[in-house]
Structure 1
Amino acid sequence: MSYYRPLVRHGDARPEGAIHLAGSALWFTEVEILDRSAPPRIAPAGLLPEDIRLRLMSRRAAIAGLDMTQPQIMGILNVTPDSFSDGGQHDELAAAQSAAVRMLADGASIIDVGGESTRPGADVVEEMAEIARTAPVIAAIREVSAAPISIDTRKATVAMEALDAGASLINDVSGFTFDAALAPLAAQAGVPVCVMHAQGDPKTMQENPQYDNVVLDVYDSLAAQVDQLEATGVLREQIVVDPGIGFGKSQAHNLALLRNLSLFHGLGCPILLGVSRKRFIGTIGKEPRADRRMAGSIAVGLAGFAQGVQMLRVHDVAETAQALRLWQATR
């Protein structure tokens, strides 16, 4: 089996035969062909199989009302005591509501509310405790804003309460493998979903993760999960994929995925990238404190946008939005 990674470019002057990437302003004329049993090679985009070409070029449908032909910023709102970077900062309802309003004013187009830390080594949170953390916050945000809200959970009961409170999207870091009831709930509710790749669970995922080929293994896993979600009744056009940087991956695995992000457009879904303040940024950037990794997070995020990623999940919304505006202006 061959895999096709578009070599993404930008600019108003395009050669004849250039293919728009996912309906955006980005385009490509060549692809890198990847294979498990042969070295990579470059080929003209005109040689793409028709089904792959259509998936790469098709305009992505809006997700929770957000235009997927433009870069979008997802603001992280963790209402947990133990998240790796911002645990305990939004325990009070008023503080969480205020933080969400501020992020929206600063440039976020969607808020991702999470009540269970998924940092390496984290324990599972009991459902009722997770609901108590998230549902009131979502309701409080909905009282003051009509902006999309994502519920970051692996559990159907938590998601159901979040949707009732006003959530617009289900974001599952387990890729809908933790709770068999979650995908049918999403299908029945008719809401968009984000399916992330993770190897193992948060408690053990960073204990020597192994892959045959991390880029192709993650691609195949996400492809299987997207197919499973479709079979359950979730529309492909309402599925966002996330390669899961830092979830059961070493630094080398993370970097390989980041260099090959454009491959995942072949799934025919928008791509979400979550790299904000993660450990590999601290290691490479020589910054041990998570809350001081903004510059490195923005650098990696802009590299993702350059490969056509549609959504970036961040802690530092105002700074990321400023960087994005300048990045777009200079391009």
Structure 2
Amino acid sequence: MTTDRQLRFRDKVYEPGSQLVMAIVNRTTDSFYDHGATWSTDRALHRVDEAISQGADILDIGGVKAGPGEAVDAEEEIRRTIDFIDVVRRRHPDVVISIDTWRAAVAARALEAGADLINDAWGGFDQDLAGVAADYDAAIVCTHTGGLRPRTGPVRAEYDDVVADAIKIITGLAERARAAGVAEDSIIIDPAHDFGKNTWHSLEITRRLDELADTGWPVLVSVSNKDFLGETLDLPVARRVPATLAATAICAWQGARIHRVHQVAEARQVVDLVVAIRGDRDPLRTVRGLV
């Protein structure tokens, strides 16, 4: 398990071994979890302020639902996200801002507005994204989606070895990003639970996440309230928080560095405890048996 690489998001640097919490901020009307709870600017800014107060290191701002839904073209995606990113950047100059997009044109506008990271959830579908990250000295997430087009769901997904396939594809994307000029300490990989995968695949990705960490590339996971958790325990979306936290702890122990979440405060406690159990973080208070 490798957690010894520095992470850099433009001018923001995190030391080896650090565990980062990425808060989801949806500028959409139809997201699977919050159903438009942060669609209005006021509510989205409240979400931003609250997430930072609860320990978020990164804000992941997206203007398009990941799965099938209403059509959102690049112009509308820009309208939903870019001015908001500008406001957040001025309001919170030290937080890492991520733009959740697969479109190079949207990513460029977001980086101009102050974003630090491109979270490409669709596996390099737009091959210009890595060049945009390089042009702005920004970070990029390289994701495994099983070859799906953006906003499509898996149908009878099959792999000889889903972990081997994920490693092959996303390390290839990482090398492509490096060749395009993205700094090595600004490249992140994501096995993408549920994307192009059935529940068995996502469970195996979780169980063998250490193999992705052992590639040397920092690993991001997005397990928060996902369908694989719901199917495993037969739970609706609203009742998946305990399962989310269990999966988060397992991923952190297996070497994940960044955790994309809905419940920030709870996830922050989980990853901080994992780091303390591993011996890389001191307890904040120790009096038991000492006084």
Normalising by structure 2, we get a TM-score of 0.89
**Contact 2:223 2:260 survives alignment (8 Å):** yes
| SS of equivalent to 2:163 | helix
**Contact 1:74 1:112 survives alignment (8 Å):** yes
Deviation at 1:80, TM superposition (A): 0.7
| SS of equivalent to 1:65 | strand
1:143 matches 2:90: yes
1:245 matches 2:193: yes
Q: Point out where structure 1 has 5 or more consecutive residues left out of the alignment.
A: 1-5, 7-20, 24-58
Which residues in structure 2 correspond to 1:1-12 (within 5 Å)?
Answer: 6=1
Q: What residue number does 2:238 align with?
A: 291
Which residues in structure 2 correspond to 1:5-44 (within 5 Å)?
Answer: 6=1, 21-23=2-4
Deviation at 1:123, TM superposition (A): 5.7
Deviations 1:161-190 (A, max 9, x none): 1112111111101222x2232221111111
For 1:330 and 1:255, how far apart are their aligned partners in 2?
23
For 1:205 and 1:226, how far apart are their aligned partners in 2?
24
Q: Point out where structure 2 has 5 or more consecutive residues left out of the alignment.
A: 279-291
For 2:70 and 2:155, how far apart are their aligned partners in 1?
15
**Contact 1:68 1:270 survives alignment (8 Å):** no
1:173 matches 2:121: yes
How many correspondences in the alignment? Answer: 274
Structure 2 residue identity aligned to 1:118: A
For 1:160 and 1:328, how far apart are their aligned partners in 2?
35
| SS of equivalent to 1:91 | coil
Instruction: From the superposition, tell whether residues 190 and 86 of structure 1 become closer, same or farther in structure 2 (CA, over 3 Å).
Output: same
1:84 matches 2:32: yes
Q: What residue number does 2:203 align with?
A: 255
1:314 matches 2:254: no
Instruction: From the superposition, tell whether residues 326 and 223 of structure 1 become closer, same or farther in structure 2 (CA, over 3 Å).
Output: closer
RCO higher in 1 or 2 (8 Å CA, sep ≥ 6)? 2
Deviation at 1:329, TM superposition (A): 4.3
Deviation at 1:225, TM superposition (A): 1.0
Q: What residue number does 1:69 align with?
A: 17
**Contact 2:221 2:256 survives alignment (8 Å):** yes
Structure 1 residue identity aligned to 2:234: K
Identity %: 34
| SS of equivalent to 1:269 | coil
Deviations 1:239-295 (A, max 9, x none): 00000111010111111111111111233211001000001111223321x133111
For 2:126 and 2:71, how far apart are their aligned partners in 1?
13
- Which structure: larger Rg? 1
Normalising by structure 1, we get a TM-score of 0.78
Q: What residue number does 1:32 align with?
A: none
Instruction: From the superposition, tell whether residues 124 and 67 of structure 1 become closer, same or farther in structure 2 (CA, over 3 Å).
Output: farther
Deviation at 1:68, TM superposition (A): 4.1
Deviation at 1:128, TM superposition (A): 0.6
